[in-house]
Amino acid sequence: MKNIIDVKIKPQYTNEYQNRYPLIQKEIFNDADILKEEGAIINLLTSNNKFIGRGYYGRQNKGYGWVLTYDKNEEINTAFFIKKIKEAISNREYFYEQGKQNITTAFRVVNGEGDGLGGITIDYFDGYYMITWYSLGIYTFKDMIVEALKSSTEYKGIYEKKRFDTKGQYVENESDFVCGTEAPKPLIVKENDVNFAVYLDDGAMTGIFLDQKEVRKTIRDKYSKGKTVLNAFSYTGAFSVYAALGGAVKTTSVDLAKRSLAKTSEQFAVNDIDPNSQEIIVDDVFNYFKYAVKKQYKFDMVVLDPPSFARSKKMTFSVSKDYVKLLKEVIQITNKNGIIVASTNSANFGMMKFRQFIEQAFKELRGRYDILETFSLPKDFRVCNEFKEGDYLKVVFIKKR
């Protein structure tokens, strides 16, 4: 039986939560110390005891939990999660149909607060489901949520990733098999007719970031033919694979992680591309940029998709503080009329600020540019209109003049 806590929120936050802001934040409480048991049900009330919403206490890096319902009579139980997951699945009919046609067999099914279930995501990989938990609070609902998923759809197997510690901090833990049958290693999935080798039990990452599917397709279909392409912070080389399939004359993938060489080679191989025909470099990207400038290397396209925060032996990188500097280095190794695909998944600022970074970088180098097109999250990554920071992805295609 879940512990239930009635909490009056400070009057200055009443309108915000009555307008369905979903993230429960520490500062809305007069006394946050009353929240002790992760997973406890919280009833948010006005100062005169009017019901606002019901959620759970679960500390994560974003806040203290999430509002799940605004219906006073709706209980948070297995039936509630079945309803939410079935709604989410029905909103992805297009992607399930793509899966039946063997065009795209990997996509997001539940995108946290975008589907009214803040604190978890559920991804689909060709019949297998991956539940990712972002707080101990939501993890206390595991039995209900797994049962709800099993009741809502056919599945081959279910996996989970825990991305939290007991202090509410984001961590990268191992994946675990939950039920059904275990996936092959690797599991080959498709995205826009491109093959990807994924590993559902391999740490925090599976081998592909599903939120960039539209960007990758655009690179392949519109910008790669006959181009030399640099993929910085390349991870497992997904952008490079798409570029090569789009007719790039050569791709260069650079990432600091040692396993990026084997992982990127594998992604090329499962698409019948000889990895030896491409360049895969294990190096600090910042060092490589300096080397490329020194050697006067130039590329027709550079994909720049750094992590929001990174630390190497010699430096610390933050998108908010250092993206302009990084972009300036990229501009110098991009050919005239070349394309820069500038990307960030930082939720700390919006597209307008990101475009200001681009403007500043070119201005400081006295360069000119055109913005060709922009992207945010694809439609399987549903966003809650009342929680704009959930629409974190910002991608801008820039033509250097």
4-69 has which fold?
Answer: 2.30.130
Neighbours of 178 (CB within 10 A): 16
78-191 has which fold?
Answer: Transcription Regulator spoIIAA (3.30.750)
The span from the CA of 251 to the CA of 285, in Å, is: 15
| 42, β-bridge pairs | 5, 55
Cis peptide before 275 (omega within 30 of 0): no
The whole model's pTM is what?
Answer: 0.95
Count of residues in the chain: 401
Domain 4-69 matches domain 78-191 at the CATH topology level: no
> In a 3-state reduction of DSSP, which class is residue 332?
helix
Would you give per-residue pLDDT tens digits along the chain (401 residues)? 789 999 999 999 999 999 999 999 999 998 888 898 999 999 999 999 999 999 999 998 889 999 999 999 999 999 999 999 999 999 999 999 999 999 999 999 999 999 999 999 999 999 999 999 999 999 999 999 999 999 999 999 999 999 886 554 545 556 789 999 999 999 999 999 999 999 998 866 788 999 999 999 999 999 999 999 999 999 999 999 999 999 999 999 999 889 999 999 999 999 999 999 999 999 999 899 999 989 999 999 999 999 887 776 677 778 888 999 999 999 999 999 999 999 999 998 999 999 999 999 999 999 999 999 999 999 999 999 999 999 999 999 999 99
Ordered by start, the domain boundaries in the chain are: 4-69, 78-191, 209-400
List of E strands, 167-249: 175-180, 187-191, 194-198, 228-232
The single residue listed with the structure tokens 């806590």 is: 5
Supply the CATH classification number for the domain 209-400.
3.40.50.150
Q: Which whole-number Å values give the CA distances from 135 to 88, 152, 167, 183, 367, in the listed order?
A: 21, 23, 9, 25, 45
